[in-house]
Amino acid sequence: MKEVNSKEIVVNDELLVKYLGGEASPEEAEALTLWMEKEENAVYFEEMESAWQAARPSAHPRAIDKQTAWAKVERSMKPIQSEVPVRPLFRNSFAWKIAAAVLIVSASALFYIRFSFSEPDSVVATQERSKRLQLSDQSVAILHHQTVLSYPEKFAKENREVTMQKGEAFFTIAPDKEHPFIIHTPAGTVRVIGTAFNLTLKEGQLEVGVSEGKVMIYTDTDTAYVMAGITARIHAHTIEVNDSVDVNTWAYATQKLVFRETSMSEVLRVIEKTYTEPVTVSNEQIRNCKLTASFDTISEEKLLTFIAESLNLSLTKNDNGYMLQGSGCP
C-alpha cells in the first residue's frame, strides 16, 4: 500500500488497523475519510477483504459494534462537510465499505502481512547450544536452546517473513520501512520495521520483550503496539501488556547481565540459561544471598569467580560444571 500524507497525518496500513480497532483519533479518522474518497483506495479495501475471505474462510474476527463505528466516522466527517460537499450516492458507498471493513478488523491486518508470504526453504533447529543466524537482509536471530525457525534463503519482494515454531530467539532487525519483517508463530504474529526484541514461545503462550524500537503483535482477535522497555504476552489469542522488561531474559544473546539485590537462586538460574556449564551449590543457604552487579561480555568462569569473592564463597570446577561452596546467607 502506498502511504498518503493528509494534513501531516500519514495514511498507511498501520493507521487502517488502528482505525478499525477503534483507536484512531478524530484527526486520524478525518484523514482516513479523505483518503477513502479516492476510488483506488476504496478498491484497495475491497480487494483486501475479498482475498482474506478466500484465504481464511474459517477465521473468527473480533466482534465490533457497527453502529458505534459508523457514528465515529460520521463525527469525523462533520468538520469537513462545509468545505468538501459529500454526494449522497458516494457517501452510501463509503458507509458500506466501512461497515464491511469493520467485520474483518484485525483479520484484514493479518491478510496484509500474509499476502505475499512464500514458503520457507530452510529450517534451523537448535539443541543444547544457542546459534547465531544471519538472514539475507542482514537481520540477525540468536536462537536459544530447543528452538526451531523456518526462513527463506532470500526474502520475497513485499515482506521479510519467517516462522518460529517453538523455543526462544532474540532478533535484531535491519531497518527497512518498505519491507516489514514478520514473524509467524502458532500463538500470534509479530511485525516490525527495524528493532531488537526477544520472543519466547512455550506451551502455546508467546512472550515479546522489546529491547529497542517498537513492535506490533497480532492474533486473530487482538492487536497491540509494544514499545522498548515493555513486555507483552499472548495467551489464548488475548494480548496482555506489562510495563517492564527483564533484560536478563535475553542475556543468552547479548551477554549482558544486570542484578539488583537479586537472590542467588535467581542469579544462578540466569547464569545457567546464559552459559553452557551448569552451576551447583554445596549449601542451599547460598541461594539466599543477594547480588548487586552488572556484567558485559564476560566468561562464565570469571563471572562466578567475581560472585564467589563478593559473597565470601569458593569456586571449584569438575566434570559436571561449577560448584559454589561456603556458608551462604541466613
Would you tell me which CATH number, out of the four given (3.55.50.30, 3.20.20.140, 3.40.50.10070, 3.30.830.10), belongs to the domain 255-325? 3.55.50.30
Please state the rounded mean pLDDT for residues 137-144: 96
- Is residue 330 predicted with pLDDT exceeding 50? yes
Spatial separation of the C-alpha atoms in residues 16 and 182, rounded to whole Å: 18
Do the Cβ atoms of 183 and 165 come closer than 8 Å? no
Which pLDDT band holds residue 32 (cuts at 50, 70, 90)?
low
- Is residue 66 predicted with pLDDT exceeding 70? no
Do the Cβ atoms of 282 and 325 come closer than 8 Å? yes
- Is residue 126 predicted with pLDDT exceeding 90? yes
Q: Quick one: pLDDT at residue 177?
A: 87
Q: Quick one: pLDDT at residue 132?
A: 96
Q: Quick one: pLDDT at residue 29?
A: 66
Lowest mean pLDDT across 33-37, 77-81, 221-225, 311-315: 77-81
Write out pLDDT tens, residues 188-244: 999 998 899 999 999 889 999 999 999 999 898 888 989 999 999 998 888 999 999
Do the Cβ atoms of 268 and 288 come closer than 8 Å? no
Spatial separation of the C-alpha atoms in residues 300 and 305, rounded to whole Å: 8
- Is residue 306 predicted with pLDDT exceeding 60? yes
Considering the domain 122-248 in this protein, what is its CATH number?
Answer: 2.60.120.1440
- Is residue 289 predicted with pLDDT exceeding 90? yes
Q: Quick one: pLDDT at residue 51?
A: 43
Which pLDDT band holds residue 11 (cuts at 50, 70, 90)?
confident
Please state the rounded mean pLDDT for residues 103-115: 43
63 burial via Cβ count (<10 Å: 0-12, 13-18, 19+): exposed
Lowest mean pLDDT across 32-41, 52-61, 121-130, 310-319: 52-61
10 Å Cβ neighbour count for 234?
Answer: 24
**What nine digits make up the cell of 179?**
519491507
Q: Quick one: pLDDT at residue 117?
A: 46
Do the Cβ atoms of 122 and 161 come closer than 8 Å? no
Q: Quick one: pLDDT at residue 25?
A: 67
Q: Quick one: pLDDT at residue 208?
A: 96
**What nine digits make up the cell of 92?**
452510501
- Is residue 17 predicted with pLDDT exceeding 80? no
- Is residue 113 predicted with pLDDT exceeding 70? no
- Is residue 164 predicted with pLDDT exceeding 50? yes
Q: Quick one: pLDDT at residue 40?
A: 74
Spatial separation of the C-alpha atoms in residues 147 and 202, rounded to whole Å: 10
- Is residue 44 predicted with pLDDT exceeding 50? yes
Share of the chain above pLDDT 90, in %: 55
The better pLDDT of the pair 327, 10 is held by 327
- Is residue 50 predicted with pLDDT exceeding 60? no
Please state the rounded mean pLDDT for residues 179-194: 93
Share of the chain above pLDDT 70, in %: 68
Please state the rounded mean pLDDT for residues 238-256: 94
- Domain assignments of the chain as residue spans, ordered by start: 4-114, 122-248, 255-325
How far does the chain reach from its first CA to its final CA, in angstroms?
63
Mean predicted lDDT score pLDDT of the chain: 78
